[in-house]
Amino acid sequence: MMTGNEYKESLRKIHPRIYYMGEKIDCVVDHPMIKPHVNSAAMTYDLACDPMYENLMTATSHLTGKKVNRFTHIHQSIEDLVNKVKMMRMIAQKTGTCFQRCVGFDAMNATFITTYNMDKKYGTNYHERFKKWMTYVQENDLMIAGAMTDVKGNRSLKPSKQADPDLFTHVVEKREDGVVICGAKAHMTGMANSHEMLILPTTNLLDGDQDYAIACAVPVDAEGITHIFGRQTNDQRRLQGDLDTGNSEYAIVGGETLTVLDHVFVPWDRVFMCGETDFAQDYVARFAAYHRQNYGGCKVGNSDVLIGATSMIAKMNGTRKNSLIKDKLTEMIHLAETMYCCSLACSYEGVKEEAGSYYVNTLLANEVKLNCTRNMYEISRLAHDIAGGFIATLPHEWDLNNPETGKWIEKFFVGNEEYTARDRIKIARLLENMSGGTALAESMHGAGSPQAMKVMILRESNVEQKEQFAMDLAHVKL
């Protein structure tokens, strides 16, 4: 396993084509816009090397028998599913942000099951290919970016009916030695500082969509790939200082990219699905369930930080002992722990698949994320309510550091005299950045929109059985 520094050095050895603000980035490790995301991901490596967190951060590979970073592990038990959630809450408490490795983690676990099932039906050898690649990932402790979401074009049309065929990633050529793919993957969390990407289909596919049923592993710096780093709320503050970002070491969200695939060659031993449209829906559903499981871990860990910041602001404002403030803080805690309960429940209700790995309860995993789309907004609203309006009108940190204006800011932004104005501003900036903009949008749409969860909840909830319960009690026979 790598340490955080070894992970950073490994990124210096690869050369992805990445653009931001119209310019090509030479090295993600040193670039001020991406460096915080690198630091956050590095935490997942350092904690795995810390004996205090070994139980959560590592596991024993069923492929090699060796100890591996949990982010490269295929779940082998209910305990693995539960430890995943606990691990994510713990890391989020330490970073206050997205640490990016869970998307690839979930994509790998979904692919393990799906390749086994495809091989069983069609006699293909996808599963063995995938296990070979997984062994390579584990042995090198690679960070994998899960690449599922396509740009989708006209949402009313299936992939093969789009005006531009590249709006969904697809195979444009099959060769004796592999395939060539075109398209793009959007909202790619952690892509800029990953080693490889695992490409999955993004939607249910029908006859005629065979070219879009593609799953494969590709290095992030493969020929034909261009990454365009996306803007984030308050991103320019990173180029102007530290204080106004609120969390300068680890940023606030996951550093997403638009990843363009322009005639990218993939050898056959890295292709894990090619044309099997009948497995696309199940593939997507399994990935989504694994990924939605996470939100009661990472988002609750972030909520722990936000609740702490809100409590500190109340102390600095002199309102912490007020009964109304205590009630609102209690509500924030209740909302966070409710999400955590759902994540633990979907993990404890997990089942062993025929492939040998463990899979979460789909219904409860979707409940996790649907709760998150609502609860994170309410937690943030309460944080704003308690903090007060000054979090929206604070002066620039350059003015705080200017002797001519800083003295007035230091004088007039004091609340409770036990705390300095500078410290009050630091906590306010952390609260501001964690509770608005990109961070909330990710809580809403990350791992799918709320409607996607509702579709799965209705599909998985067995309403017919509930109808039967009612008819039995009412003595109704149809």
Whether 442 is catalytic is yes
Active-site residue (options: 115, 170, 291, 358):
291
The token pair that represents 98 in the structure block: 């997205």
Whether 274 is catalytic is no
Whether 169 is catalytic is no
Query: Which is it for strands 351-352 and 23-25: parallel, antiparallel or unpaired?
Result: unpaired
Whether 295 is catalytic is yes
Residues 6+ apart with CB under 8 A from 249: 36, 39
Bridge partners (DSSP) listed for residue 261: 183, 225
Active-site residue (options: 290, 295, 340, 358):
295
Residue of 142, 77, 148 lying closest to 111 (CA atoms)? 148
Give the SS3 label for residue 349.
coil
Give the SS3 label for residue 465.
helix
Q: Is 257 annotated as a binding residue?
A: no
Whether 342 is catalytic is no
Active-site residue (options: 115, 189, 203, 277):
189
Q: CB-hemisphere CA count at 13 Å for 95?
A: 29
Whether 291 is catalytic is yes
Give the SS3 label for residue 79.
helix
| Cα–Cα distance measured from residue 178 to residue 175, given in angstroms and rounded to the nearest whole number | 5
Whether 189 is catalytic is yes
The token pair that represents 341 in the structure block: 């309960």
Give the SS3 label for residue 222.
coil
Please give the backbone phi and psi of residue 94, each rounded to the nearest 5 degrees, phi first: -90, -25
Give the SS3 label for residue 59.
strand
The token pair that represents 161 in the structure block: 């009916």
Please give the backbone phi and psi of residue 18, each rounded to the nearest 5 degrees, phi first: -125, 135
Active-site residue (options: 274, 298, 342, 372):
298
| Cα–Cα distance measured from residue 73 to residue 357, given in angstroms and rounded to the nearest whole number | 10
Residues 6+ apart with CB under 8 A from 335: 303, 375, 378, 379
Whether 432 is catalytic is no
| DSSP per position, 84-141 | HHHHHHHHHHHHSS--STHHHHHHHHHHHHHHHHHHHHH---HHHHHHHHHHHHHHHT
| CB distance 10 to 2 below 8 Å | yes
How many Cβ atoms from other residues are within 10 Å of residue 462's Cβ? 11
| Cα–Cα distance measured from residue 286 to residue 440, given in angstroms and rounded to the nearest whole number | 24
| CB distance 234 to 245 below 8 Å | yes
Active-site residue (options: 7, 37, 97, 98):
98
Active-site residue (options: 276, 397, 432, 442):
442
Active-site residue (options: 20, 250, 256, 257):
256
Active-site residue (options: 102, 182, 216, 372):
102
Give the SS3 label for residue 305.
helix
Residue of 237, 241, 379 lying closest to 309 (CA atoms)? 379
- Which residues are part of a known binding site? 189
Binding residues for FAD: 189
The catalytic residue positions are: 98, 102, 189, 256, 291, 295, 298, 442
